[in-house]
Amino acid sequence: MQNFVLERKNDKERNPTGMDLNSFLIMPIQRIPRYKLLLSEVLKHTDPDHPDFANLTKALKEVDEVAKKINDNLREQANRDKIVAISRQFAKDPCFVGPSRRFLLQGELIKKCRIEDRRYEFFLFNDMLAYAVKLMGGRYKLHRSIPIDSTFMAVDLPDLDSAGAPISSPSISSAADVAAPAPQEGRRYRFQIHNQDKSFEVYSQDKALKMQWISTIVEAVAEQQRIRAELDRRRGVATQVRCVCSPCTTPLFHTLTRVVVSFSNNS
């Protein structure tokens, strides 16, 4: 294997258009879509009464499932790489990497504080919201992470102008419904982040950014609700399953236990 790798490396150096090791490794993955196209064409020109028609249909379905699984795995790997890259931007590992965690959105928002409003970099995942302080040198320091639990929500708040007066705007349900106004200095496009432990207000000077955050948070909350509902459903089914093993189905009182109980009572 080592000799093969060295040969491929030397071939690549001598001939830049040649195939290196990575090119060979990706070949099996690249062949799957080709097999799908080939089978589709063969099936298209095969009579339904032909003895191979059923096998071709089955083969095409299985290849299509493999292709979807490969694409899903590639997306998962790209997501893991993204989360690892985000984690490396922190001075201390924030422990963002998780088996089912997906990155959704990142951006700067201003958090309303009692004394002075502060800018934080927010990171939204499918199961958690985190925000961090930017340090000298460009790295981040994690300030807080909030799980997206059953009480988590994003609440839209009235937008304010530079004087603190409400800005009248048409009601919209998503960021794509209307064209958002251009960012303006002093304006605060606000929303509230709420869960059972903490609630706070954040704002941006960009209406479209606010709507993007709200809609993405709503999608993340809905996903977690679906996951919890499915887990509850499975737990409900599990509690209804009756054990049929020998100890559980054996009557409490049979000849032996009756004798033992009787002896215990007499003693």
Helix and strand numbers, DSSP H then E, in the chain: 6, 7
pLDDT at 203 over 70: yes
What's residue 244's pLDDT? 42
* Neighbour-count burial for 60-86, b at 16+ CB within 10 Å, e otherwise: beebbeeeeeeeeeeeeeebbeebeeb
Q: How far is residue 217 from each of residues 7, 109, 149, 225, 235, measured CA to CA in Å?
A: 51, 14, 12, 12, 27
Could you tell me the maximum CA-CA distance found in the chain, to the nearest angstrom? 97
Residue 191 and residue 155 share a domain: yes
**Calpha distance 47→44 (Å, rounded):** 8
- The structural domain count of the chain equals 2
Question: Between the ranges 26-40, 183-197, 199-213, where is the mean pLDDT highest?
Answer: 199-213
Residue 74 and residue 107 share a domain: no
CATH code of the domain containing 121: 2.30.29.30
Q: Is residue 257 part of a domain?
A: no
Residue 123 and residue 32 share a domain: no
pTM of structure: 0.68
Helix (H, G, I), strand (E, B) or coil at 168: coil
Residue 53 and residue 163 share a domain: no
Pairing of strands 140-147, 153-156: unpaired
Residue 214 and residue 108 share a domain: yes
Where in the sequence is the domain holding 48, given as residue range(s)? 2-87
| pLDDT single digits (tens) 124-152 | 999 999 999 999 888 999 999 999 988 99
Residue 141 and residue 70 share a domain: no
Between 86 and 267, the more confident residue is 86
Mean pLDDT across 114-131: 94
Q: Residue 210 half-sphere exposure, CB side, CA atoms within 13 Å?
A: 29
Q: Is residue 130 part of a domain?
A: yes
Residue 56 and residue 157 share a domain: no
Walk across the sheet containing 140-147 and list its strands.
140-147, 128-134, 118-125, 103-111, 199-204, 189-194, 153-156
Q: Is residue 63 part of a domain?
A: yes
Residue 171 and residue 125 share a domain: yes
Residue 115 and residue 73 share a domain: no
Tokens 């694409």: give the residue.
Answer: 71
**Calpha distance 203→142 (Å, rounded):** 19
Element (H, E) at 207: helix 207-240
User: What integer best gives the mean pLDDT of the chain?
Assistant: 80
Residue 154 and residue 206 share a domain: yes
pLDDT at 169 over 60: no
